[in-house]
Structure 1
Amino acid sequence: MISVASVLEAMGYEMKVFSFEDGPCSSIWSTIGIPVEILPVDTKLLTSIDWLDYDGMLVNSIEARPVFSSLLQEPFKSVPVIWTVQETSLAHCIREYKSSGMTQILGGWQEVFSRANVIVFPNYILPVMYAAFDSGNYFVIPGSPAPAFQADRFIAKNYDKDVRISLSLGPRDFVIAMVGSQFSYDGLLMEEALVLQAVGPLLQQYPSENSTQTELKVRILTGNQTDKHRIALEAIALNVGFSRGAVEHVAVEDTDNLLAIANLVIYCSCLDEQSFPGVLVEAMILEKLVIAPDLGMITKYIDDGINGLLFPRKNIAMLSQVLLQVVSNGELSDLGKNIASVGKARAKDLMASETIEGYAVLLENVIKFPSETLTPLSAGEIPLPLKQEWKWHLFEDVKNLYNVNESLADCKMLQKMDWHRNRKDDPHSITPKIDETFSAIAWKEERANGIMSAKMKLEEEYLKERSDQPHGTWEEVYRNVKRVDRMKNELHERDEKELERTGQPLCIYEPFYGEGTWPFLHQSSLYRGIGLSSKGRRFGADDIDASSRLPLLNSGYYRDILGEFGAFFALANRIDRIHKNSWIGFQSWRVTARKANLSKNAESAMLEAIQTQKHGDAFYFWVRMDQDPRNHANQDFWSLCDAINAGNCRLAVLEAFQRIYGLQLDGDLNSLPRMPNDGDTWSVMQSWVMPTRSFLEFVMFSRMFVDALDAQMYDKHNQTGHCILSLHRTSTATLVFSS
C-alpha cells in the first residue's frame, strides 16, 4: 500500500494514515510526507473522528474492522470505502464459525463487508474463499509485493536443513516442485499425470534408490485434492519409474518451505486464468527456475528462455525436451541457473504497474471530489517511472519487517480481537454482558414507568378540568384540549436539563444526524441536541426531534439539502414552545470534531457579555472564513462562495433574488449586494450566537431564499441528480487507512 500511496500522492491526492499500532512502517509514511495518527483500540475513543473530512478511505487489513463501528452509522455511511483484503485467515475461519453456531460473528462480518463500496483482492482465489460475505462489491486488482516479502522472509530465516528433513528429503536430493492452480477442476489429475510422465526421462541421470548419491524427488503442492486423487497420482508415479516415496504431496501451508528448497518449479496446470500465479512470482524471487505452459496470462510475463521456460500446453510431452535442456548430470545446468537469475531480477516488480494503475482507475470511479478541489491526475497520466516498480528502497532500513503480517495466523488470533468476542469465545465476558443487558432492561423499565406516570398525571389533569368546567364554551374546551396535546407532544423532549436552563440567557443547539455524531455532542445544560431525523436520537437525552416539528425533514432529499438550516426552520416553528431563552446559538458537531468549538473560558466570557449587554444585540461567531481550510488563497466572500459551489454561487443567488423580489436583473452579477472586504472576516460552519428575535428575522428571510432556490433547482436536481452548485451527483484528498 505504501507504493500505491506514494504514486497517488504524486498524482495530487492528499492523504493521511490511521493505524492501530506504531509499527515499523510508520517511519516510511513520514519519509514520503504522509502524516500518521495512531488510533486507540477502544472503539468508543475511535468514534471521535469526523470521517466526512475525507473524500474516501483505503482500508488495508481485516484488522481495521473496528473503524467500521462508526462507518456503519449516519452520517458516515456515505463515505466511500475501498477495502483491500489480502489475508486468508478469516476465510479459513468461516466454516468453523458456521459449525459452532457463531451466527452473530458471521453476521457482523457480512455487515462490514457489505458496507465497503469495493472489496479489493490481489488474486482471484480470495473472492471464492470469501464468497459467504459477497454482496456484489468484490473486485480483483491482480498483483502484490506480498510474494516477494514471503520469499525474503524465508531467506532471512535460513533453515534449509530443517525444511528438508520435514519434507522427507535428503541433503543432496534434486527436488522438482510441481505447483498448479488454486482452483479445483476435472482435468487437473490428467495434467499432473502427464507432467510426471514428462519428468520420467530425468530418472536416467540418477543412480538407484539404494545409492547414497543424489536422488530425484518430486513434491506436489496439494490444495483441496481428495485422497483418491493423491493415491491415483502416486500409483502413476510408480508406473513411470519413481521409487516409493520419491513422489509425495505437500500441504499448502508448506508452500514457502517447498519453494525454498526446490531446484526447479513446474507449473502443471493448463487452466487459463486471469492473473499470473503468485506461487510462480515467489519461486522466481527465490531464484528458482520456473517452467510453465504457454498460457496467455503466463506468456505475458515470462519470455521463453529469458526469465523462464515454456512448454506447449497442448503437447505436454514436449516438457521432457525442455527439462533435458536445463538438467544435466543430475544438476541444474548453467543455462537453467542463468534463466533463474534473470527471473529473480524481474520478479520483484512483476505486475507492479498493473496494480498501481488499477488502484488509480478504481479511485477515479469511486471517489467524487467537491468543486473547490483540484482534481488529481488520471490513471493514464501517471509517469511510467512512478508505477513500474514497488518502492523497495523505502524498506531497506526497516527492522522486523518480516514479522509485519504474522499476527493473523489462525481463528484463535481473530477471536482475541475485542470486537470479535462472544459467549463461545470468552466465557469470562458473559458476566459483563449480562450486567449490560440487565442495565439496559432496567433503563427501559424506568423510562417506561416515567412515561406511564406522566401520562396518568396528564389524564388526571384533563379529567379535573372536565369536572371543574362542565359547562364551558367550545372555545374553552378547544384551548384545553390543545394545551393537553401540546404537553403530550413535548413530554419526550423534557428532562432535568430543561430545569437547569431556566434562567439562562442562552441555549446553544447542536444539529446532528445519526449515531456517528454522538461523540461530538455536549452534555451540559448550555447545549441541547436537535436531531434532524427521528432515528439516531440519544437515549436519555433531551434532544429535540426536528422532523416532528418540521415534517419536511422526513424527506431524505430535503434533509440532506437543508442540512443545519433544517434545524433552524424546525426551531423557529412555534419557537416559544421549546426555546424560552432571550439568546439562541448553534454549533456544528463538525466544529467540535475539528476541536474548534467553544472552550469553557469562551463560554463563560460569552455568557457574561450577554448578561451585561456588553455589545448590545451582537452576533457572536467563532469559526472564521479566513481560517477555513478551503480558503487557501484568502478569497473574499463571493470568490470563496463560487469556489465551493462549482462556480455558480453568484448566479444562483442572483436568480433567487429575482424570484423573491420580482426583479429583472438579466444575469447582471454586479447587481448583487457588495459584501464588505475591509479586513474583517465572515462566519462559516453555522457556529454562532444571536438574540432570539434577530434569529427569527434571519429565519424569515432564509425561508424565502430557500423557497426561491428550491423552485429554481428542484426539477433538474430531482430528475437528473445534477445540481448547479456541484460538479458531481454527489459531493464527496483521500484517506489511506492502514493498520
Structure 2
Amino acid sequence: VDDRVNGYFFPKENIKVLTQIILQVISNGKLSPLARNIASIGRETVKNLMVQETVEGYAFLLENVLKLPSEVAPLKAVAELPSKLKEEWQWNLFGDFLNFTLEDRSANFLNKLEEQWNHSRREKFGSLIAVDDSFSYEIWEEEKRTHILDTKRRREEQELKDRTDQPRGTWEDVYRNAKKADRMRNDLHERDERELERIGQPLCIYEPYFGEGTWPFLHQNSLYRGIGLSTKGRRPGMDDVDGPSRLQLLNNPYYRDTLGEYGAFFAIANRIDRLHRNAWIGFQSWRATARKASLSGIAETSLLDAIEKRKYGDALYFWVRMDTDPRNNMQRDFWSFCDAINAGKCKLAFSETLKRMYGLGQDFNSLPPMPEGEGTWSVMQSWALPTKSFLEFVMFSRMFVDALDAQMYDEHYQSGHCYLSFSKDKHCYSRVLELLINVWAYHSARRIVYVNPETGAMQEYHKFKDRRGKMWIKWFSFNTLKVMDEDLAEEADSDHPKRRWLWPSTGEVVWQGVLDRERNLRNRQKETRKQKSKDKLERMRHKHRQKALGKYVKPLPEDIEISNSTTVTSV
C-alpha cells in the first residue's frame, strides 16, 4: 500500500493528521476527485492483497504437514510455483460461490421443495389443489422470510460469540480440572488389558506410523501394537512403542525419512528381550489398512492357528501381494518391478550394495535370482516371522543398509537427489528396502507362505524343490552373517573409527570381546560385593563394646508394705 496513491497512512496517536486527511477527501459533502481516484486504484490493490505471502505460506504448511507415502512424487518447491499464482487471486474460481449466498441457497432449496410438494399433490388430488395454491404460496413466502431472518440472527450471534472473551472459571474449577487430569493420567504405569492379553499370545504385529494422519489406519486390539517413529504424534492412551527412545538414530530426521518404516525394525530388534517376549513377530504397514489389504478377523485367527500348530515351521507369512499392487499394472517380475519403482536403478543399487557388503571385486555383476513362475512376492512390509529369524534378518539388513548408505549418503544428503528417484526424494532407500525381505527369505531357505487377508486361506510359494540350484545359501547363511557381524562389532568397539559410519547406530554392537569384558565386569562386581561383606563381618566381630557403668535396681512400689516393718500403737 502506497501512501496517497491507493490509500492513506496516519499515526494512530495523531488525530490531527486524520482530520487533515478527511478534509482532503471530502469536498462539499462529497468525495473529492482525488479520493475517488485513490479509491479506484485501491480497489484493484485490495483484490490481490497478500497473494504471495498467503500462497507461499500455505504451500510451506502443506509441505511440512502432509506425510505422503514413499511412492508418491514429492511436492514441488515453493519457488517453482507459477508467478501468476503468486501475483493475483484466481477470482474466477470463486465466482459461483460469491454470487451464491446463504439466503440464495435457502430460497432455492425451499423453491425446489415447494415445486416437488405441489407436483406430488397435483398428481394425487388433481384439480382440487388449484383452489389452495394462493394460500400455499403465502405460507411458503412467510416460511422463507422467517428462515432467512433466523439464519441472519444465528450468524450474528455466532460472530458475537467468537468475539467475546470466554470465561475462564474460578480457581476451584481450575483446581478440580487439574486433579481430574492427574487421575486420568496413568502415573502408576499399570498394564492395560491389551498388554496383558498380548503376553499370552504367540504373535505380536507392530504397526509403524508417523504423525496423527495415520491413526485411523491403526488397529487397537491386543494382537497389534503401534510403534511411533517420532516422539510427536503419539496416540494418547495407547501402549505404543516409542521408536526414538529405543533407537537414537530415529531422532535424526534425515534417517527417519530415508529409512521410513524400516527404522521400526531396527528399533524393535535393539535389545528386543526388554520389549518383545512373543515367539513370533509381525509387521503391518498402515498403508495396507488404507488399501483394505490388512488382515481380517478370520485371517488373524487362521494365522495364529498355523503358528501355534507350526504348520509350516520357520516360515515367512505375508498378506500383501506384489502382483496385485497398484504400482504393478504391467505384472512385471521381481527385479523389473523393483526397477520400475526405483527409477530403473534397483538392480544397480543391489549389485553395488552386495559388492560393498561382501567385499567383492568390481567385475562382480550378478544378482540373486528371484524366479517369478513359482508365485508372487511380498510388498508393503506386511509379514510375520519367528522372532529368532527376525533377528537374523535384521542382522543382514543392518549390513545391507550400511553398505547402501555408504554409496548414496553424500549426494543425497547434500542435494536431496539419489539415483533411485527421478526427483528430490526424502524416502530414498525405502522402496528398495521394501522388497529386501523377499531376497533374504528366499535365499536363506525360509518357507514363503501367502495368507489371504480376507478368507485366511494359505498357499505356499517358491517351494524348496523348485529352489534347488537357485539359492545363494552360503551368502545368506546364519554362520556367514554372524562372522561378518562380529567383525564389524570388533572394529567398532576396538578401533573406534573416525569416519562416518551408519552400522553402529542401527543396533547393538556385540562380539566376543564385549561379552568377555562384560563377564569380567560382573566378576569384579561380584568380588567387590564379597569383599564388602567380609569387611562388614570383620568390623562386627572386632567391634568395641563398652562395659556397663553400673547396675540399675528397680525401686519397690510405694503401696506395698514391707514384710519386716512394725506397727507402733500408742496406749
Report the secondary structure of 1:678's partner residue.
coil
| Counterpart residue number, 2:388 | 693
In structure 2, what is the equivalent of residue 711 of structure 1?
A: 406
2:506 aligned with 1:506, yes or no? no
Change (3 A) 1:498 1:667: same
Identical pairs, percent: 49
Q: Distance in 1 between matches of 2:71 and 2:206?
A: 29
Aligned to 1:49: none
Query: How far 1:630 moved relative to its partner?
Result: 2.9
Question: Which whole-Å CA distance do the structure 2 matches of 1:399 and 1:271 have between them?
Answer: 26
Whether the aligned pair in 1 keeps the contact of 2:278 and 2:387 (CA below 8 Å) is yes
Cα deviation, residue 431, structure 1: 11
Deviation, structure 1 residue 656: 0.4
Q: Deviations over 1:426-465 (max 9, x none)?
A: 7899999987644322234x50xx26xxxxxxxxxxxxxx
Q: Which residue in the other structure is 1:441 paired with?
A: 182
How far did residue 496 of structure 1 move?
4.6
C-alpha distance 604-270 of structure 1, shift in aligned 2 (>3 A) = closer
Alpha-carbon distance change, 409 to 232 in structure 1, aligned in 2, over 3 angstroms? farther
Distance 2:315 2:329 in 1: 29
Counterparts of 2:216 and 2:247, CA distance in 1: 25
Distance (Å, rounded) in 1 between the aligned partners of 2:327 and 2:152: 40
Amino acid at match of 1:507: C
Which of 217, 228, 249 pairs up with 1:520? 217
For residue 22 of structure 2, what is the aligned residue in structure 1?
A: 230
Q: Counterpart amino acid of 1:268?
A: N
Contact residue 508 and residue 526 of structure 1 kept, 8 A: yes
Instruction: State which structure, 1 or 2, has the greater radius of gyration over its C-alpha atoms.
Output: 2
Report the Cα offset of residue 729 of structure 1.
3.3
SS in 1 for 2:267: helix
Letter in 2 for 1:184: Y
Q: For 1:584, what is the secondary structure of its paired residue?
A: strand
The alpha carbon displacement at 1:722 in A equals: 2.5
SS in 1 for 2:421: coil
Alignment pair present for 1:591 and 2:383: no
Q: Does 1:183 align with 2:7?
A: yes
Look up the match of 1:269: 38
Partner of residue 601, structure 1: 298
CA contact (8 A) 2:228 2:241 kept: yes
Matched letter for residue 678 of structure 1? G
Distance 1:501 1:573 in 2: 20
CA distance in 2, matches of 1:683, 1:663: 28
Residues 80-137 of structure 1: per-residue CA shift (max 9 Å, x gap):
xxxxxxxxxxxxxxxxxxxxxxxxxxxxxxxxxxxxxxxxxxxx79xx9xxxxxxxxx
1:580 aligns with 2:256: no
Offset of residue 268 of structure 1: 0.8
- Of the three residues 254, 262, 268, the one matched with 1:557 is 254
Shift in Å at residue 536 of structure 1?
A: 4.3
Q: 1:408 to 1:272 in 2, by over 3 A?
A: farther
Superposition pairs of residues 78-93 of structure 1, within 5 angstroms:
none
Alignment partner for residue 310 of structure 2, among 592, 608, 613? Answer: 613
Kindly indicate whether the alpha-carbon contact (under 8 Å) linking 1:369 and 1:731 is maintained by their aligned counterparts in 2.
Answer: no
Q: TM-score, normalised by structure 2?
A: 0.51
Aligned runs of 1:100-111 on 2, under 5 Å? none
Contact 1:371 1:643 in 2 (8 A): no
> 1:268 and 1:681 mapped to 2: Cα distance?
73
How far apart, in 1, do the equivalents of 2:170 and 2:331 lie?
Answer: 55
**Does the aligned pair in 2 maintain the 1:372–1:644 contact within 8 Å?**
no
Q: CA shift at 1:708, angstroms?
A: 0.7
In structure 1, what residue type is equivalent to 2:7?
F
Structure 1 residues 370 and 600: CA distance shift in structure 2, 3 A:
closer
Tell me the SS of whatever aligns to 2:295.
coil
The offset of 1:715, in angstroms, is 2.4
- 1:288 alignment partner in structure 2: none
Residues 429 and 181 from structure 1, CA distance in 2 versus in 1: closer, same or farther, beyond 3 angstroms? farther
Match of 2:227 among 500, 522, 530: 530
Question: Residues 678 and 433 from structure 1, CA distance in 2 versus in 1: closer, same or farther, beyond 3 angstroms?
Answer: farther
Change (3 A) 1:369 1:228: farther
CA contact under 8 A between 1:530 and 1:567: conserved in structure 2?
Answer: yes
Q: Which amino acid is the alignment partner of residue 22 of structure 2?
A: R
Alpha carbons of 1:271 and 1:596: their partners in 2 closer, same or farther (altered >3 Å)?
Answer: same
Q: Give 3-state SS (helix, strand or coil) of 1:268's partner.
A: helix
Residue 71 of structure 2 contacts residue 341 of structure 2 at CA under 8 Å; is this kept in 1? yes
How far residue 717 of structure 1 moved from its aligned partner, in angstroms, is 2.3
CA distance, structure 2, for counterparts of residue 526 and residue 430 of structure 1: 44
Residue 666 (structure 1) shift: 3.8
Shift of 1:655: 0.5
Aligned residue for 1:625, secondary structure, equals coil
The two structures, once aligned, show a CA RMSD in angstroms of: 5.2
Contact 2:355–2:364 (8 Å) recurs in 1? no
List per-residue Cα deviations over 1:472-510 (Å, max 9, x = no partner).
xxxxxxxxxxxxxxxxxxxx9x65533222321111112
Q: 2:74·2:424 contact (CA, 8 Å) conserved in 1?
A: no
Alpha-carbon distance in structure 2 between the residues aligned to 1:693 and 1:667: 32
Letter aligned with residue 716 of structure 1: E
In structure 1, C-alpha distance between the alignment counterparts of 2:204 and 2:177, rounded to whole Å:
33
CA separation of 1:226/1:442 partners in 2, compared to 1, >3 Å: closer, same or farther?
same
**Structure 1 524/396 Cα, relative in aligned 2: closer, same or farther at 3 Å?**
closer
Mapped partners of 2:153, 2:397: distance in 1: 55
Structure 1 gap ranges (5+):
1-123, 129-179, 187-224, 239-244, 250-263, 280-350, 383-387, 452-491, 733-739
Q: Aligned pair 1:571/2:268, yes or no?
A: yes
Aligned match of 2:361 = 664
Matched residues, number: 363
Match among 372, 376, 399 for residue 681 of structure 1: 376
Q: Name the aligned partner's letter for residue 614 of structure 1.
A: K
> What TM-score do the two structures reach when normalised by structure 1?
0.40
Distance in 1, matches of 2:159 and 2:20, equals 34
SS at match of 1:728: coil
Question: Matches of residues 210-359 of structure 1 in structure 2 within 5 Å?
Answer: 226-234=18-26, 237-238=27-28, 245=29, 247=30, 267-269=36-38, 276-277=44-45
Cα-to-partner distance string for 1:201-229 (whole Å, 9 max, x where unaligned): xxxxxxxxxxxxxxxxxxxxxxxx94553
Alpha carbons of 1:434 and 1:694: their partners in 2 closer, same or farther (altered >3 Å)? same
Task: Please give the residue correspondences for 1:35-50 in structure 2 after superposition, counting only pairs within 5 Å.
Answer: none
User: In structure 2, what is the Cα distance between the partners aligned to 1:640 and 1:614?
Assistant: 31
When residues 443 and 395 of structure 1 are mapped into structure 2, their CA distance, relative to the original with a 3 A threshold, is closer
Aligned position for 2:319? 622
- Equivalents in 1 of 2:236, 2:333: separation in Å? 43
Q: Distance in 2 between matches of 1:372 and 1:516?
A: 16
Q: Distance in 2 between matches of 1:704 and 1:695?
A: 15
Aligned residue among 331, 337, 344 for 1:647: 344
| 1:371–1:727 CA contact under 8 A, matched in 2 | no
- In structure 2, distance between residues paired with 1:502 and 1:694: 20
| Partner secondary structure for residue 204 of structure 2 | strand
- One-letter identity of the residue aligned with 1:629: P
Partner of 1:724: 419
